[in-house]
Amino acid sequence: MAEAPPDEPPYPAPEHEHLTPDEQDSAQRGHASEDPLKLDDDRAASLLELQTLTITEVLDQDSRPTFVIDLDPDEGITIGAKRIWPVFCNSALRTHELLLDAVLGCAPQDAETPHAVANDTAVDTTYEDFSSWATGVTKFDNSKDVFPLFFTYRDMLWTGSTVRQRWRLISGNLITATSSRPATPSLSKETSDQGHVDPQATVAQTDASVSTAGTTLFSSTKQHALSSQTSNLNKTAGTSSDETGTTSTSARLHLATPEKAVADWTVPNPKGILSAHIAYARTVAWENTPLGPLNQWSREFRQTVNLVMGNPFPAALFWGSDLTMLYNEAYAAEVAGNKHPSLMGTGFSGPFSELWDGVSGIFAECARTGVSIRKEDDYLPIERHGFLEETFYSWSWTPLYGGTSRILGFYNAPFETTQSVLHQRRTKTINKVGENVARAKSIKQFWKLLMESFEDNHFDIPFALLYSVVDAEDDNESSVSSGSTMSLKSCHFEGSLGIPEGHRAAPKQLDLKRSRDGFIPAFRESMRTREPTLLHTRDGTLPEELLEGIDWRGFGDPCKQAIIFPVRPTNGENVLAFLMLGISPRRFYDDGYKSFTSMLNRQMSTSLASFMLYEDEVKKSRDLAEAAALEQENLTQQLLLQTSRMRRMTELSPLGMYLVSPDGVLREGNDRYFEMTGHPRDVMYEMSFMEQIEDGSKKTMMEGWERLVRDHQAWTGELQLKKLRVQPVDLHGESIDYWVMATAQPEFAPDG
């Protein structure tokens, strides 16, 4: 019988076994004096600080791709499942999208390995084998530990361990070309199905793999190579920026299980804080709807409904041919109104019958073509607060396929733009008021242009009625009220919109003090408060009998409310008119409507004040013009009187008197002048008086004319005239020459 070989220690002998006894004693004394496991105060404090770290922080700093699986989740995942559902993936795995897809089973089986290495000994493993190994447990004890301890998949050597019999921690190490990759133990179909591995079938292969020469996986060289490869993966996922000197890794978010939100509200025991809306959605009898019970919803559909519920903006899901509805909390508050909660789980065409005729064609076209729909500021009449409401939405309608090639439903994202659209429409009306009345030249025209400003806004102003306020004793309807005493006022009809002529609500004239016709009681109240007054049919302030027969503008629905404006200028207290406007029956009299009426009232008051100032200026100018004309008339009369007196004086004078303009035209002369000179009375032109002067005296006359015109000096000279009418004789009766003494002086205007 051969002698058995001596037993060898399984591990190398300690170094001190080769020392001399004295050296061993010295070494023992040295170890005894310095126990490395004994903690001093500093290391104890460090240990306490170390214990504050979380496992996720530690794993995120690990350069190896790592993920954690919950083997005992609230949502049942069978051991040996065909899919891996990690509760945590560290940064190294998250930043490598291809490897992450391979771990989650999202990558195709024939996809290229992220970091393929040439290795003839490589064993092709499928995702099902990897998933079965990752979620499987050993059957030899109750530790629920992974078996075998390693697995090769996608050129990575994966190792796993289990903590507290629940948390499966799996890390991967990159296999480089310089290392021989150990073969992965084969998993039988039975093992894959049950999640258990038969150790007898794999132990020999495992031992051989582990003991293969050159497979020292955790040597310093291989570890450095793995760190370098993982660092390269991180750099690939987060590129650096030469401009900023930083990498996108520093701004990377830490993604993990949410602390408050519910990741999946459709599971039997959801984790997180359930909102009241989601809690209600879980109580809906979905099994009675085309969607079926919650536990039968596909994973793709559950992802979609979780997306809808998690959206902070209004969103809804319309599924199946019946368009069964599922919507989030924002949709319930901003779109559904009082249709919620009964709207949840019902078809669209029933609860939203008021919209169906308008959108059914659009929905059908989208279902036929698969092309998404986008609408901006689209008018959608919705009955969500007890009446048909005028609303505007910018909305989209997107087909959903649920992982198939057929359209299974639609995703709807509506954003209400009602206030924006109404604000633009109302602002346009206010601006038009300012533009129109600025052209007014009289108060009568002001009222006419004011009513014309409201003609285009049919929806915000279903009807309008305008009365001017004038003094009762003044029959002129275009006059302006001069005081505030109600007993002396009367109202004159200035115009209306939607109210037929002769309607009982719009008499031509009303006594503000004693009349009970029309809306006079409301006018009196408005004049007393000097503020806009809101009238309601429900309290009788807006009599319904006065509304009968009105041709309603806009939607054609009768008004339930109206508002009266006591129109007065901003710089005065006197009410000059009453304007009554109907409130849209499809809108609340909310803050937006109040803002519109307030700005309209301010615009009318400002425009009226400007017109009154303009009218005052025009009146002043007219008064000044009349005064100037009167003064001019007085001056003209005085001048005529003076002229008449002068003419009488010259007519009686024995001297010939005349008036010549600076250009030499004879303007005026007395009878004696025409008798002496023989100048014709009906022929007057420049220097025509020279025709009556003999040639020998014309030089003298021209010298005198130059002295008058150029030198502005008086002149006197003797001139020989032609014997046209006068035949002078001497004492003996003999004919003699005709000489006259001419005297002239220039006259100057006040401006010289």
Report how far residue 675's alpha carbon sits from residue 145's, in angstroms, rounded to the nearest whole number: 153
Report how far residue 38's alpha carbon sits from residue 44's, in angstroms, rounded to the nearest whole number: 10
Determine the pLDDT at residue 518: 84
Backbone angles phi, psi at 400, to 5 degrees: -120, 140
Domains along the sequence of the chain with CATH:
55-237 (no CATH), 276-416 (3.30.450.20), 439-618 (3.30.450.40), 658-744 (3.30.450)
Residues of the chain with pLDDT under 70: 1-39, 74-81, 108-124, 139-144, 177-251, 473-487, 724, 752
Q: Structure tokens of 600?
A: 């309209």
Determine the pLDDT at residue 120: 45
Q: Can you tell me whether residue 400 is helix, strand or coil?
A: strand
Tally of CB atoms within 10 A around 614: 13
Report how far residue 737's alpha carbon sits from residue 211's, in angstroms, rounded to the nearest whole number: 168
Contacts of 574 (CB under 8 A, 6+ apart): 480, 481, 482, 483, 484, 568
697 CB-contact burial (10 Å; exposed 0-12 / middle 13-18 / buried 19+)? buried
Report how far residue 693's alpha carbon sits from residue 738's, in angstroms, rounded to the nearest whole number: 10
Q: Report pLDDT digits (tens) over 304-355.
A: 999 999 999 999 999 999 999 999 999 999 999 999 999 999 999 889 999 9
Q: Structure tokens of 39?
A: 């903690």
Report how far residue 169's alpha carbon sits from residue 89's, in angstroms, rounded to the nearest whole number: 10
Q: What is the pTM of this model?
A: 0.56
Q: Structure tokens of 203?
A: 């132990």
Cβ atoms 579, 534 nearer than 8 A: no
Please provide the DSSP assignment of 50-103 as one string. Answer: HTTS-HHHHHHH-SS-EEEEESS-SS---TT-SS--EEEE-HHHHT-HHHHHHH
Paired with 157 in beta bridges are: 152, 173
Determine the pLDDT at residue 748: 83
Q: How far is CA 623 from each of CA 121, 442, 445, 613, rounded to the nearest angstrom?
A: 116, 16, 22, 15
CA angle 294, 299, 303 (to 5 degrees): 90
Q: Structure tokens of 415?
A: 């954003």
> Which sign does the torsion angle of CA 412, 416, 422, 424 carry?
negative
Determine the pLDDT at residue 217: 34
Which residue, 66, 62, 115, is CA-closest to 93? 66
Determine the pLDDT at residue 487: 60
Which residue, 178, 156, 159, 150, is CA-closest to 96? 156
Determine the pLDDT at residue 38: 66
CA angle 50, 56, 58 (to 5 degrees): 45
Which residue is associated with the tokens 């104890």? Answer: 44
Q: Report pLDDT digits (tens) over 537-572.
A: 999 999 999 999 999 999 999 999 999 999 999 888
671 CB-contact burial (10 Å; exposed 0-12 / middle 13-18 / buried 19+)? middle
Determine the pLDDT at residue 23: 52
Report how far residue 507's alpha carbon sits from residue 134's, in angstroms, rounded to the nearest whole number: 91
Report the greatest alpha carbon distance in the chain.
211
Determine the pLDDT at residue 49: 84
